[in-house]
Structure 1
Amino acid sequence: MNVLAIDTSNYVMGVAVIRDGAVAGEYVTNIKKNHSIRLMPAIDQVMKETGMKPSDLDRIAVAHGPGSYTGVRIGLTTAKTMAWSLGIPIVGVSSLEAVARQGAFFQGYVCPFFDARRGLVYTGLYRSDMTIEKDETNVLMEDWLHQLKELDEPVLFLSQDIAVHEEKIVEILGDQAVLPKAPYHYARPAIIASVAEEKEPGPLHDLVPNYLRIPEAEAKWLEQQEK
């Protein structure tokens, strides 16, 4: 199976091609630049360098959130447009699961998270076999850490935003917290492609952004309507 994977759900932008189970090419950046401008050139570059044509693709995988509202929409819109035009299936993969997979061989719990501002995070909890222990949620980080403390088992924290919450993690969990080096904190699009190979595709139009909470502008609008 040939799979194109796309991830623009956070600062990290990634594109990968898996060909017959092997990683043929992968492109990843972690810079604050406009994904909408850079995504298609990145896809074109990876496809050309791997000798792949769009007609060679069997499936498209996309990280569909949670994360940046704009970033999630860019990746999802691009992936759905390509899947529709090529007439091939599309599979959405949780952006949190994509990060969690970096800790698949850790003996303990794996906690991916993204900073959601104001002390909040998007997060979830996985076991080492990648089964879900706690569902994805938008929660105050301090409250979440106290929940994890009660598990009394090692927890591997993975996040591009680890520096924002590292002090609080260590303060509450102490030696129970495991904080790896930088490369492990970023999702790889090749892993997203691999996960998508295992999942059953659904209807194209049923795949929607996984925001976990509504955008702030929409929340304010709803609040005004209730007055």
Structure 2
Amino acid sequence: MKVLGIDTGAAAGSAAIMQDDVLVSEVLLTSRRTHSGRIMKAIDMVLSMAELKPSDLDGFAVAIGPGSFTGLRIGISTVKGLAFSAEKPVASVTTLDALAGQFPCSHALICPILNAGKGDVYTASYRADKSGSVRRTGDYTVISPLDLTDRILEPCLFAGDGVKTYSSVIKENLGSLALFPPPFLNSIRAS
């Protein structure tokens, strides 16, 4: 199954082609310019690298948030237009699910944290099973990082744009229970 996925909900966006769980092509968008002028170029690039056209795809996937309202609108409307013209289905993926899914080998609890503004983060809790599937184990919520750390009683991997802002608070309250990936894994990827 060939799927084009895109994420435009954060400053760093991306577009990727996956075929049967194998990454075929991916473009990361990391400049400060808006996604509206870049996402179609990124889609054209990943399709070209994969030697595909939209009608060759089996479907589309798009990040639906939480994230930048304008960025999400750009991504969702772009995918809806492509899917409509290609007569292909669309799957929606929350940004928290996508971020947690980047850690299928984690033995620790996984807590993606995305800046929600006003000192809060969007989060949910996840676990990876022995097969590498990552499943949500708690509700989506908006919470202060301090209140979140009060709920953590075991080693926990924190990832997302909230790490840059709140890692010191998390480390101070959790000590060695707080785990962090390399910084390049704090961005959501369309793949």
TM-score, normalising length from structure 1? 0.79
Structure 1 unaligned spans of 5+: 191-227
Checking the alignment, whether the CA contact within 8 Å between 2:123 and 2:140 is kept in structure 1 is yes
For 1:20 and 1:184, locate their aligned partners in 2 and report how far apart those are by CA, in whole Å. Answer: 22
Matched with 2:6 is 6
| Structure 1 position 121, deviation (Å) | 0.8
Rounded to whole Å, the distance in 2 between the matches of 1:22 and 1:102 is 14
Match of 1:137 among 138, 141, 152: 141
| Aligned counterpart, 2:24 | 24
The 5 A counterparts of 1:66-215 are: 66-129=66-129, 130-148=134-152, 152-190=153-191
Amino acid at match of 1:54: P
Larger radius of gyration: 1
Alpha-carbon distance, 1:138 to partner: 1.4
Pairing 1:53-72 to 2, within 5 Å after superposition: 53-72=53-72
Structure 1 distance, partners of 2:123, 2:41, is 31
The count of corresponding residues between Structure 1 and Structure 2 is 187
Contact 1:102 1:185 in 2 (8 A): no
What is the identity, as a one-letter code, of the residue corresponding to 2:13? M
> Which 5+ residue runs of structure 2 have no aligned equivalent?
none
State the match for 1:211 in structure 2.
Answer: none
Q: 1:131 to 1:18 in 2, by over 3 A?
A: closer
Q: 1:21 to 1:124 in 2, by over 3 A?
A: closer
Contact residue 127 and residue 136 of structure 2 kept, 8 A:
yes
Q: Write 1 or 2 for the structure with the bigger share of helix.
A: 1
Q: Which runs of 4+ in 1 moved over 6 A?
A: none
TM superposition shift of 1:91: 0.2
Please give the per-residue CA displacement for 1:55-96, whole angstroms capped at 9, x wherever unaligned.
Answer: 101100111111111111111111111111211110001101
> What is residue 218 of structure 1 aligned with on the other side?
none
> Aligned residues: percent identity?
37
Residue 188 of structure 1, CA deviation = 2.0
Deviation of residue 153 (structure 1)? 1.0
Q: Is the 8 A contact 2:121 2:162 kept in 1?
A: no
Per-residue deviation, residues 121-165 of structure 1 (Å, max 9, x unmatched): 1111101232222111112222122112xxx21000001231200
Matched residues in 2 for 1:116 and 1:21: separation?
31
* CA offsets 1:139-196 (integer angstroms, 9 cap, x no match): 2222122112xxx210000012312001100111111100121122122211xxxxxx
Q: Which amino acid aligns with 1:136?
A: Y
**In the TM superposition, what is the alpha-carbon distance from 1:20 to its structure 2 partner?**
4.4
**RMSD between aligned residues:** 1.3
